[in-house]
Structure 1
Amino acid sequence: MSSVTFTLDSDYFENDTDLPDLNTQPCLLVSLGPAVSLVLSVLLVATSALAIPGNLLVGWVIGTNQRALTPSDVYLFHLTAADGLLALTLPFFAVAFVRGWIFGDFLCKFLNLIMEANFYTSIIFLACISVDRYLAIVHTRGLQQSRRGSCSRLLCAVVWAVGWALALPALFNATIAVTLKDGSETWLCTESFHVGRPTAWRLATRVLRHVFGFVLPLVVMVACYGVTVAKLLHTRGFQKHRAMRVIMAVVVAFLLCWTPYHITLMVDTLLRAELMAPGCGVRGAVNVALGVTNSLALLHSCINPFLYAFVGRKFRTKMNLLLQRKFRRDKMSASRVSRSTSQTSEGAGTVL
């Protein structure tokens, strides 16, 4: 899921270390272009600038809550951690869009590993929240709050373990030096499979990404929220309408952010597997579309806090109380410092 300025189609040769001649096979290296690269770089920086403080604020409000956390609160806290960690990697890929990969082979693997792991954990936690809300609304008497709470913490550990396990193929990323047609040289941080056939490995890793990073979470969310909405339609009160609006916003945001990326990635996989044989123009268009949809999908990391927290009335109430409490505490602290300074000045005047 790394964002790079160029795409190198290494499926045409068995050994990734034996790079082909780009002058005789011009479709192997396709540039996004300086304008598109700059726009996507700015988009990644803006996403990171919004996601980091937004997720930190949500995590602070949840973490300082004096009452026992609900399972949804626990999942949301871990969701903000995953989105925040993912957002920390985005400035590096923003630089790669405009200057190529300048951070070395270790960071190429490490940052892609962090991005992939938190990509999986973030989406799986979204599915966990949908399941918990389904249990809380539809099966209110089926499970006790304490039992759900103890299970939620164990489930969080499982989700993190699964996310990092699914991200291990990111270690196949490596830096590759490429000489462009104008004679200049750039470095790429891209997939580089050295075990077996590159096409088979790429197909396997992308199937994992589609299934565990989109299809299964989407099925869980649609199923749980579908039953939840049906239950809310048979209840009375204004709260149900507010809950339904949040649910619809969550599902729509997920679909809008991630569907274009996964569709484009499927097309790119078919091209690399040579199941389709288009010209260089189509390859270039798919490469640009992949970079654009990838960057738009990452916007989900800064949308999550607004959907799950800021839209919720209870969260806004908690946040306002915490901010008021902190403001009063800071004001009292400043008042004490002022009185202490005043007393010190008076004492000094007496001595003189």
Structure 2
Amino acid sequence: METTTTPVFHNNATAVSGQNNSDEYFETYLKLNTVALIIDSLAFVLGVLENGVVIWVIRFKMKKTVNTVWFLNLAVADFLFAAFLPFSMTYMALTHWPFSKFMCKLNSTIIYLSMFASVYILVVISLDRCVSVVWPVWTQNHRNVRRASCVSLGVWVLALIFSTPYFIFRDTYVENITICFENFALSDDYETPSVIELGQFRHQAMTITRFLLGFAVPFTVIVFSYAVIIHRLRRNRTLATQSNRPFKIIAAIITTFLLCFGPFHITSLLDMVYFTDYFNGSETLSLVIAFSYPIATSLAFLNSCLNPLLYVFMSQDFKDKVHKSILSVFETLFQTEE
């Protein structure tokens, strides 16, 4: 999820070191980069482990239902996201791309594929819960595993369509070090005005589209769906007076989505603005982007290990299945040793 678009601003370290008071700025950048790498490492380890457990338990230990279809697809998307984190972490740590051009394209595509899939599955889950609360009779008659599987397939197809441009535009640039960046102009010419203008136009189109379809619209749908659910729960005074747990879970889901994806998309929009004719060359804006980018990206990465905690591990039935499965594994292990 690098926001860089041309070799002129090919990585944040170069952007920081090119400014006045560069030593002080660069030291701050390195500290932020270290914090980001720690968060990324945590997201990688927890994301792979948590989602791996979810996939295993749902696939082999639980009955196939509509909910398990949603959570299985969410876990697969987040597992895929987390599994490719080492490539981005290596790029961030080395400040150059040590892999091939194909891996530069593939890594970016997989990251965005899993991000779009994860976001849209979260939207589907919120809509499914909303419909179940508002129209329970209709839901009972029409909600089934086959339809849930078809919807999940549609989500992956949509995510693939939205992520394909990143495979097309992603490119490498070699000058002392190798940079993996988004070459929106699809050209090695970085000086001709018409080529620069084409790159800026595609950059703006991709960034705005990603913000709208990957954040603004999904977040609006999620908030609206849970607002309807909260309204219905409050009307049911018996349920509302028994526990505040549903409201706390809903608040956690909305807050997590906003905090994880909001900073990344805001940074992307700032990066887009930086490359407009009016702001191009602004030292202040370039520093804001360089300093915010590592943390903003890491927060987006962190979402892959928070989803299992919010959506799956809070389920008592799932926790019981995990407990029984772990006991079964140890029993089999000890029996084999005997």
TM range (shorter): 0.7 to 0.9
2:166 — aligned with what? 170
Share of identical aligned residues, percent?
A: 25
CA offset at residue 151 of structure 1? 1.3
CA offset at residue 54 of structure 1? 0.6
Q: Which amino acid aligns with 2:246?
A: A
Structure 1 73/239 Cα, relative in aligned 2: closer, same or farther at 3 Å?
A: farther
Alpha-carbon distance in structure 2 between the residues aligned to 1:328 and 1:145: 42
Structure 1 regions of 5+ residues with no counterpart? 17-21, 179-184, 339-352
Q: 1:266 aligns with which of 260, 266, 269?
A: 269
CA offset at residue 93 of structure 1? 1.0
Higher relative contact order (CA 8 A, sep 6+): 2
2:86 — aligned with what? 91
CA offset at residue 325 of structure 1? 3.5
Alpha carbons 1:72, 1:133 under 8 Å: kept: no
Report Cα offsets for 1:193-233 as digits up to 9, x if no partner. Answer: 23560011111111221111101111111111111111112
Residues 1:2 and 2:2 are matched in the alignment: yes
Alpha carbons 1:11, 1:199 under 8 Å: kept: no
1:285 — aligned with what? 288
Q: Which amino acid aligns with 2:325?
A: L
Q: Which amino acid aligns with 2:83?
A: L
CA offset at residue 64 of structure 1? 2.3
CA offset at residue 240 of structure 1? 5.5
Report Cα offsets for 1:239-260 as digits up to 9, x if no partner. Answer: 7633222221111111111112
Q: Which amino acid aligns with 2:133?
A: I
The 10-residue stretch of structure 1 (305-314 or 86-95) with the greater mean CA deviation from structure 2: 305-314
1:303 — aligned with what? 306
Q: Which amino acid aligns with 1:75?
A: W
Structure 1 289/93 Cα, relative in aligned 2: closer, same or farther at 3 Å?
A: same
CA offset at residue 326 of structure 1? 3.4
Structure 1 37/177 Cα, relative in aligned 2: closer, same or farther at 3 Å?
A: farther
Structure 1 240/67 Cα, relative in aligned 2: closer, same or farther at 3 Å?
A: farther
1:174 aligned counterpart, secondary structure: strand
Residues 1:189 and 2:189 are matched in the alignment: no
Alpha-carbon distance in structure 2 between the residues aligned to 1:239 and 1:201: 53
- Larger-Rg structure: 1
TM-score (norm 1): 0.81
Q: Which amino acid aligns with 1:72?
A: N
Alpha carbons 1:41, 1:93 under 8 Å: kept: no
1:241 — aligned with what? 244
Alpha-carbon distance in structure 2 between the residues aligned to 1:73 and 1:132: 13
The 10-residue stretch of structure 1 (297-306 or 276-285) with the greater mean CA deviation from structure 2: 276-285
1:64 aligned counterpart, secondary structure: helix
TM-score (norm 2): 0.84
Structure 1 148/207 Cα, relative in aligned 2: closer, same or farther at 3 Å?
A: farther
1:214 — aligned with what? 215
Q: 1:317 aligns with which of 312, 315, 320?
A: 320
1:142 aligned counterpart, secondary structure: helix
